[in-house]
Structure 1
Amino acid sequence: MPKRRASDENILGIFADGERSGRKPRQEKSSGDLTKGISFVRGQTLQPTSVPAPPKEEKNKEQDEDSDVDSRFVLDASLPSANFTPAVEGPKLPARNKLSFHQMSSNYGKGFAMLQKMGFTGGGLGRHNDGIANPIEVQKRQTKMGLQDDGEMVDQDLYGNEGGRRTIEELLGTISKPKQSDEPKISDGWKRDGKSKRPKTIYKKAEEASGEVPAMRIVDMRGPEVKVASSFAELAANLAGDSVRSLKEFRHNTRLLVSRYEDKVRAAAERKRHCENIILAAAKEQERLQAADNISESDVKGCKELVLEIESLREQQDEASITLSELADSFKRLERTRPKEFHLLSAMDVAFALALPTAKRELSTWQPFKAPEDGLKAISKWQQLGDKERFSALLDASLIPQLRKALVAWSPRDFEPCIALMETCKKALHLDVAEALIAEVVLPRLRSELEVWDPRIDKVSAHLWLHPWLPVLGRKMEMLWTPIRFKISGCLERWDSNDPSAHGLLKPWQQVFDASNWEPLLEKVLSRLEKALLDTPIKPDGQDLKALKSLFTWLDLAPLENVARVLETAFFPQWHSALKQWLRTKGCNFSEVLQWYQGWKALFPPELREQLVVQRHLAHGLEVMKHMMANGSDLDEEPAAPQRPSHANLPPTSARNLPVEEVSLSLSDYITQVAAEEGLIFLPKKQQRNGKQVYQLGAATIQLEKNLIYVAPKGEGEWKAASMDELLKLAKVTKK
C-alpha cells in the first residue's frame, strides 16, 4: 500500500487519502449540508436554509492543520448568513426577433398581418412577451430518408438570445466550424446508394474563375446590436425595420438647418437688391447735380420759365380744362423746345404725375365696347413720351382697371365687341400689355363660360363663340380643348347611334382639336357604331340599314381604315353567315342571291369599297357564291385567304339550270377578287383612254374593255391586250 499511497500523493497532492508524515487524516465534511444552502430550483421561491456554524475548537483545529497548506488551494468561501434572501429567479434575457417587420411581412404575408392584429409588436409571444420570438424553421426530408433519421426541426435560436452573445470573430466568420465528414452515417448503410461517393470534380474556365466575386460581409454597428449583412439589399431591408428609424432625427435636423439658412440667403438677396437700387439712385442724383453745377445763368432763366409753364399746366389740370391728349402735346412741345431744362428739372416725372388724375377723370366715363378707340387713342400718346416703366404704371393705375371692369361684366357669347376691343388694344398699346390683359381676363372668362355650357340642352354650340377667337388668341386657346372634350365625351356615353346631332357637334372641332383630344372622341363614336352594327341582324328580307348608314355618315370625320375595321369586326361576320345560310336553303334562287350581293356592294361608298379589307370580304363572298352554284357544296374558308379560281372561264351553271348571264361576273369584279387574293392594289386612276376608265393593278396600268384587258407599255408604245397570267406576272415583276 505505500506504493499506492505514494502514487496517489504524486497525483493528488494534499488531497490524497491516508496519513501523511505523522499528520492525522483530514476529517471529511458533510457535503449534504453545503449543497442545501446553495441549490437553485427553476421557477420556485427558495426559503433560506440555516446552516449551523462549526464549533470554534474544530475550526481552530482545522486552521492549525492547514497552516502549512499553500494559500492558493485554501477554499475560504463563506456560507450565506441567516439574513441572506436568495433571488426568486435569475436574470432573464429579453426575447429578440431575428427578422425585421419588413422581412416577416414579405416572407409570411397574411399570417404576419393576422399576428399584428392580435397585438404582436415585436419580441416574444404571449401576454408577458416571454415566448418564442422567431418563427419555427423546418427542413424538408430528403429523398429515401427514414423516420429514424433526424427530424425536420432546425437547430435554431427561437428566443433570439444567442445572437447577443456572439463575438466579433464569430460574426465575421473567422472561427471556422468543424467540417462534417463526407462519409455516410451508420444509419445510411442499409440504403442502396449509401456508399460513399467520390466528390465530383468541377472544372472552370479562366474567365469564369477570374469573374467570381468574393462574398461580402458588412458589419453594422450603428444600433444597440452588432449586425452582419451579406449585401447592401439586406442592409437596406434591415434599415426599413422598426429597430432602426433610418436617421429620422438627422433628417429632421437637416431640414431645420436648410430652412434656417434659406431664410438668411433670401434676406441677403433682398438686401443686395436694395443696395443696388440705392447705388443706381445715387448715381442718377450725382449726374443731376453735376449737370446742375454746369448750368449757366441763361439756363437758370430757362428753367424758371419752364417751371412757370408747367405750373400753368397744373392749374389747368386742377380746373379740368385740359384733356389728356392736350396735356401730352404740351409736354412734348416743352421737351422739344427746352430739352436741357426739361432734363435738368426731370419734367417727365411731373408730366406723368399730372397725367394720372387726368386719365382717371377721362376714362371714368369711357365705354370700351362701344367706343374702344376713344380712350386708347388719348393714352397711346404717352407711350412715346416716357419709358416703358412709367407708361406701364400709368396704364395699371388708369386704363387696366376700366378694362377689367368692362370684361367682368361682358358675356363671352357676345364675342364681336370684345374681339374688336382686343385688336384695338394690340394696335394702340404695347403687345405685351395686350397679351397680359388677354391671359389674365379674357381666357378665364371663356373658361368660366365653358363650365356652364351643356351640349345636351344648350341651343348654341360652343364653336360659334369660341372659333372667332382663334385668329386673336392662337395657341393660347389650347387650354380650353380638354374641358370641351370632357363635356362632349360625357354626351357620347348615352348617345344613340341613329341620332345625327353628334356628327354636327363634332365636325366643327375636327380641324381645331389636336390628336390627343380628337382621337378619343372618334374612338368612342366608332365603338358605339360598332355596337349598333352587332345588334343589327343581317337578313335578305326586310334588312334594317339604319346602323350601316349611320356609320357611312362619319366617313368625312373618321379615317377610312378605321371605318373598314368596324365593318370587318361587326358587319362582315354576320354578312357571310347570312349568305351561306341562304345558299344552303333548298330551292335557293341564285339570281336573287346575286342581286342581293350586288345591292350590298353598291351600298358601300366608292372610297370605302376600295379599301383592301372590304375588297377581301366581298371577293370571298363572291367565291362562296360561285362554288355553291357550281358544286352545290359549302366552301368553308376564312375571308382572309380565299382560294383564287382558275384564270380560265367562270364555272358553268348548267347544273343548276340557270342562265349564264345571271351568275357571270363582270371583268372588274373578277380583277377585284384576284387583286385581293394576290395582295395587289386595284384602284381607278385620274385618267381615261378612249373614254374608258384607266386602273392601276399593282404597279401596272390597265384598261378594261368588255372581256379584254389592255396593259400600258413601259415607255413609248401602244397598249396591248394581255391574259390574266401575263398581267399578274407583269404586275409582280414591276412591283419588285
Structure 2
Amino acid sequence: MSMSHLYGKDEDSDGVEMESFQITDWDIQNEFNPNRRKHWQTKEEATYGIWAERDSDDERPSFGGKKSRDFSAPVNFISAGIRKPAAEEKSDSDSENEAAPKVEEFQPKKLRTGGNFKPTQKTFAGGIKSNNDFGSWERHTKGIGQKLLQKMGYVPGRGLGKNAQGIIAPIEAKQRRGKGAVGAYGSERTKQSLQDFPSVDSEEEEEQEFQKELSQWRKDPGGGKKKPKYAYKTVEELKAKGTGGKAMSAPQKEISQVKVIDMTGREQKVYYSYSQISHKHNIPGETPTSGKEEKPQGFVLPELEHNLQLLIEMTEQEIIQNDRQLQYERDMVVNLTHELEKLSEVLSGEDKAIYNLSQVLKTVEECEQRMQPGCDNPLTLEECARIFQMLQDKYYEEYKLSEKADLAVAIIYPLVKEYFKDWNPLRDPVYGIDIMTKWKNLLEEGHLSHSAHDAAMDTYHRLLWETWVPFLRNIISQWQPRNCAPMVDFLDSWVYLLPVWILDNILDQLIFPKLQKEVENWNPLTDTVPIHSWIHPWLPLMQSRLEPLFSPIRNKLANALQKWHPSDSSAKLILQPWKEVFTPGSWEAFMVKNIVPKLGMCLGEFVINPHQQHMDVFHWVMDWEGMISLSSLVGILEKHFFPKWLQVLCSWLSNNPNYEEITKWYLGWKSMFSDQVLAHPGIKDRFNEALDIMNRAVSSNVGAYMQPGARESIAYLTQTERRKDFQYEAMQERRDAESIAQRGIGVASVPMNFKDLIQSKAEEHNIVFMPLIGKRHEGKQLYNFNRIVIYIDRGVVYVQGEKTWVPTSLQSLIDMAK
C-alpha cells in the first residue's frame, strides 16, 4: 500500500514523480504558514518515523526540490495563526506544564497513518484480559510453558516469583499526542507502570522544576503577565552553604577575597573571589558557550544586573565571613572557658600547697625557737618525733619534697646527742630503743644496700652514723672483751635498728680487734677462765668472722697438751666446747695429733689381771669416746687392748679354768663397751674370736677332769651372744627402714615387726617370701625365702644348715637368696 499521498506526491507507471492535487493536512497547514517547505520522506524516516535523525525539525525541502537556506537573511516572526481560546489554552498549560515563552502555540493537525489507530485502543492485539484467560492460546499449540510454570509453583491469577511480585498483565502503551521527542508532552508512564513501579522519575522532577521556574516569565493566557515568583535565600541557608555544614576553625576572609584574573575568554576578566567563576556567565559581555545568539529582550540592563549580582555576592561573602568569625569567636570562648576552669583548679591547688608549706614552715620555726638556749619550753626528742609524725600524716607531699637531711641536722641531731649523753649501754642496753624505732620509721627510705657509700644519703643512716656510732666507739674502747655478756646483749637488742653496713662496721672494726688482741694474750695454762666462755657468745652475731681466731686458739691448746696425761680430765673440759665450733676436719686432725697418741700410750701400759683388775686406766681412755672418732678409738683398742686380752684368755683356758668364771669375765669386759663400739665389725670379730677360743678349748678337753656341763654352757653362751648381735643388727636395719619410710612414704607404711621388715626387703629385691603351710620348727613357722628355709625367733633369722640352724643377718640372707 502506497503512503505517498500523505506527503503530497505520487508516481506514475513510468516512475515520474507527480504532484497530487488532493487537499491534505500539509496543504491546510501551509495555508497558515506560507514559508513552510515540503519535506520529502527519506528511507530512514520511513523506517524510524519521528525518531529519524535530522539536522533540524523545521528544515524541509520546498516543492521544487532542495534549496539552501540563507542564514544571512533577517529573522522573520510569525504574525498570526490559529490560536486557541484563552480558557482552553490555560487548561492545557496547567495540565501539561508546557513552557513556551514569547511563542504563540498552534494546534496543528495530526498526521494520518496507514492503520486505523485509535487513542483508546491497546497496543497488543489481545488487549488486557482477565487473569483466568492468561496463556489460553496454549490450547491451540503444543507448548508446555503453562505446565512447567505450574510445576514450579505458579498459581493462575497470581504473579510470578517467590513473593508473587511478577507482573501478569501485558505491558500497556501510551500514545503521544504530538510529534516531539520522548518526554516533550509530559510523562510517558501509564497507570499500570505507576502501579507496578511506584518510583519517582528524576526526569519528571527536573521537568516540573523547569516548568516552575519558567512559569514566572510566561505570559498569562488572558493576555496579562503573571506576578513573578522570586526565590529567596535566607541567612541560615547562606551560612550553611558558606560553611559546608561544618564550623570553620579560623576566619577565611583572606582566601574568600582573593583577586582572580580569568583569561579563558577573548577578553581578560577580573573576579573578586573564586566563587564568582561559577557565575561568570551572568557577567555582561560574556559570550554564550552554545554558539547561538540569543534574541535581546525588550528591557535588558546587563550592567545593572552585573552590579546587582556583584553587590549580592559581596553581601553574601560578608555574611559568610561574619558567620565564620562568629563561630570562631564562639569556639574561642569555649576553649577559654575550659582553660579558665583548668587554671582555676591549678590556682586552687597552688593555694593549698602555699598554705601547707606555710604551715610546715611555721612548725619548723617553732621547733627552732624551742631549741634556743634559755627557752621556757625546750623541745624534747619524743615531742619532736610527734611533730614529724604530724607533718608526715597531714602534709605528706610537702614532707616528702622537703630536705629531711637538713631538718635532721638542724633539729634532730642536737636532740639525739642530748638524749644519749649519759647512757651506758652495758648497764641499760634497751635504753632509747623505742624512740629510735620511731625515727627509723620517719626518716629511713628503705636502703637495703650493704655499701656505706650507697646508703650515705639516707637520713636515718646518717643520723646513726654521725650521732650514735661515735658514742658507741667511745664505749667499746673502754670495754673488756672477757666481759662479753653485756655487750652481746646490747647489740642483740639493737641489731634490728642498725643498718647492715653500720653493724658490719661495728663488728669488724670495733669488736673483732678487741677479741683478737685478747686471744693473743690468753694462756690456757694460767688462765682460770675458759676461753670459750667469752668467745662463743659472739658466734650468733659474728659467725664466720671468728674463724681467724680459731687457728691461734688451736696452737695454744696444742702447746698446752704437750705435757698432758690422760689422767688429767681438765683437758676434756677445755676441748669439748670447741668440738662443734671447729670444722670436722680441723677437729679430727687436732685429736689425732694431740690426744690419740697419748691415749694409746696410756692403754699400752694397762695390765689385764683376771684375779685383781684395776680399771682406772681403761676408764681414762674410754672417757674420750665421743671426743675422738670411732675409728680412732677402735684402732687404739685393736692395737693396745685386745691382743693382751685374748692372750690372757688363752692362758686362763690352758690351766683347767672354771668355765663359769670365764663366762662371767667375758660378759663383764663386753659390758664395758658401748653399743656403738660393739657394733663395729672390728670389735665384733674380736669377741667372736674369744668365743671360738672357748669352744675349741671345751671341745679339746675330754679328760676325766672335764667339768660337767661346760660344753653346753659355752655353746649356750655362744648362741646367746650371736643372737644378741643379730638382734642388734635387725634393730638397726629396722631403724634405718623406719627413717627412710618416714622421709619418703610416711609413717603409716612403717613395718611394725621384724616379719614385716623382711617382707618389705623381699619385695624391694624381688624375692619370694611365703610361709610353708603345716611345717614348723620348735613351734616356729617356717618360711621359704627364695628356696631358702628360714624361721624367725625374737628378731633373729635362722637359716637351715647341714646339721643345725644358723643365725644370719638380714643382709646376708638377701645376698644368699639372690
TM-score normalised per structure 2: 0.43
Higher Cα radius of gyration? 2
